[in-house]
Structure 1
């Protein structure tokens, strides 16, 4: 995740990662934002606060962000992503 059609270094890295992963048959989708969809009515106050803390933490991470197997990595290498993908 990084701004799409952006000339920044981070966006260029995100473009490279998506292209390389797809070449290696690792599905990758290039996005510029994310959302969390949870049913708060079924969550305890503690769980809601933990979710808010995680969202706030992710917002501080350096781009590009890569989500793999439910985890987020900040500016990872191709090898980092492949290693996490193989744990699936």
Structure 2
């Protein structure tokens, strides 16, 4: 029997790629714009596209794309502060 590694080599990169696609799709941002995000890029309050309604849409899409369940008490003021805090939240919920 041949041993195969079916796990992605870098799961963090996969989540980061998915998060960039999610922000692009839900907020209507260009690929170039989301590709330029680094961990310190501010989100809520800095992106006009990211308002309270968009947050709800992002959370719903995160649940769908990452196959996770997000409870109301999982979210706090820091979750959408920067790209890095949002990515860390997604990684934690996805079990990384």
Under a length normalisation based on structure 2, what TM-score does the superposition of the two structures give? 0.29
Greater length-normalized contact order (CA 8 Å, ≥ 6 residues apart): 2
Between structures 1 and 2, the one with greater strand share: 1
Under a length normalisation based on structure 1, what TM-score does the superposition of the two structures give? 0.31
